[in-house]
Amino acid sequence: MKNFEEMQVDVEAGRHVKPGSEFYMPPNENDRVSAFIDLIKYRAFASATRALDDQFLHDFNLLSVEQRAVLAGLDKLYLIPAALIADLAIKGVKQWISSPITILNEMASAIAISNGDINSVDKSDKSILYRYFVNSKIESKDAPSFSNEEFLQYTLNRLLTEERVIFTWIVQNLILLVEHAHMDPCLHCEFFIGLFEKSNYIQGELGVLFKVAISKTPSLFETLANARLSIDPFTKQTNFSLWLQDSAKFKYIATLRTIAGVVETDQVKKFDKKFELFNEMNKFDRGAL
């Protein structure tokens, strides 16, 4: 049996793994909490315990949680975190959520997020709340926890700038917040226009989100109507796929024109004229109409 110091050296040298074994390794190396969430979601425990050296695993199980946490922090392969998280999940997260040991605190947060247990999450930590928001479908009773303006600014900014998939449930969460008046679209015009410009197509939930947002804040229609879209004849000739994509987005904006509360301002009149001209110019084009 090895002592704790020897085990630390072994982990740092990668000697805690059976040679040639296969195991799940999360891709988010720069974001430990997301990596821990992945370990839980993709059931890494089974492959991790199979891959760990038998003697090491035996010795590991005799250590205290704090010692195991130290080893978990050293393990770049995420096998020890996978084993430790499974153990913490069984014991319950409550006692670790405010632990002064960062890695235990992060693991407890990851377990709470994976379980959809909003009450156990530290709501004052906006990065943890953000991870909850992007990983879970929020229920309406929990929506007030996400209405803090500072959190919303942080989250919407990350959603726009981060290279991440905007999953259906993230858009559903946004719809819920707007519908239940926990998020005022008027204060987040930049996000809506950014999301519109970033999206290559507006369908499904995304279509619903803009509709709900404009119903709550009709002036947002003007902002969307001013979105940069390449629907001109030159683009049609030189970059047809972009033109087709942007034409579909332009026509989508037109479907929002009739939402109650959209006032006929100069900008809106300009849009109506542009839409009329667009239809006239492309009336023989099956792809556009």
Partner 1 sequence: MSKWNQRRISIDIESDYDPLTSIPMLEAGYIDEVKARQRITAAFDTQNCKNITIIDPYLLERDVKTILELFATQSERNITVITFLNKLKDGDAKSSDKVTTATIVKNIVDDLTKKGIFTSFEVIVTSFEFHDRFFFCTDEGKDGLLVSSGGSLSMFLTKYSGLVRITNRTFRRTLLQFIEHAKENGKLLSDYIVEWS
**Segment near partner 1 (CB under 8 A); pick from 44-52, 69-77, 102-110, 138-146:** 44-52
d(CA 219, CA 157): 21
| 123-142: contacts with partner 1 (CB under 8 A) | 137
CB of 168 to partner 1, least distance (A): 4
Residue position matching structure tokens 């943890």: 128
Select the residue interacting with partner 1 from 172, 219, 267, 282 (CB under 8 A).
172
Residue position matching structure tokens 């499904």: 204
Does the protein bind partner 1 through residue 44 (CB under 8 A)? yes
**Segment near partner 1 (CB under 8 A); pick from 62-70, 80-88, 233-241, 272-280:** 233-241
Does the protein bind partner 1 through residue 22 (CB under 8 A)? yes
Select the residue interacting with partner 1 from 204, 233, 261, 287 (CB under 8 A).
204
The pair of structure tokens assigned to 127 is: 């990065």
Does the protein bind partner 1 through residue 289 (CB under 8 A)? no
Select the residue interacting with partner 1 from 2, 41, 58, 273 (CB under 8 A).
41
| Closer residue to partner 1 (CB): 4 or 169 | 169
Does the protein bind partner 1 through residue 55 (CB under 8 A)? no
**Segment near partner 1 (CB under 8 A); pick from 71-79, 147-155, 200-208, 228-236:** 200-208
What are the respective helix, strand and coil percentages of the chain, to the nearest 5?
A: 65, 0, 35
d(CA 242, CA 266): 28
Between helix 149-161 and helix 189-198 the angle, nearest 10°, is 20
**Segment near partner 1 (CB under 8 A); pick from 10-18, 145-153, 202-210, 276-284:** 202-210
CB of 231 to partner 1, least distance (A): 17
Report which DSSP code applies to 52.
B
Does the protein bind partner 1 through residue 195 (CB under 8 A)? no
267-271: long-range contacts, CB 8 A cutoff, minimum separation 24: 267/222, 267/225, 267/226, 268/221, 268/222, 268/225, 270/225, 271/222, 271/225
**Segment near partner 1 (CB under 8 A); pick from 36-44, 67-75, 94-102, 143-151:** 36-44
Tally Cβ neighbours within 10 Å of residue 181.
10
d(CA 57, CA 80): 9
Does the protein bind partner 1 through residue 161 (CB under 8 A)? no
| Burial of 241 (C-beta count, 10 Å sphere; 0-12/13-18/19+) | exposed
For binding to partner 1 (CB under 8 A), which residues are involved? 22, 24, 38, 41-44, 46-47, 137, 163, 165-169, 172, 200-201, 203-205, 238-240, 245
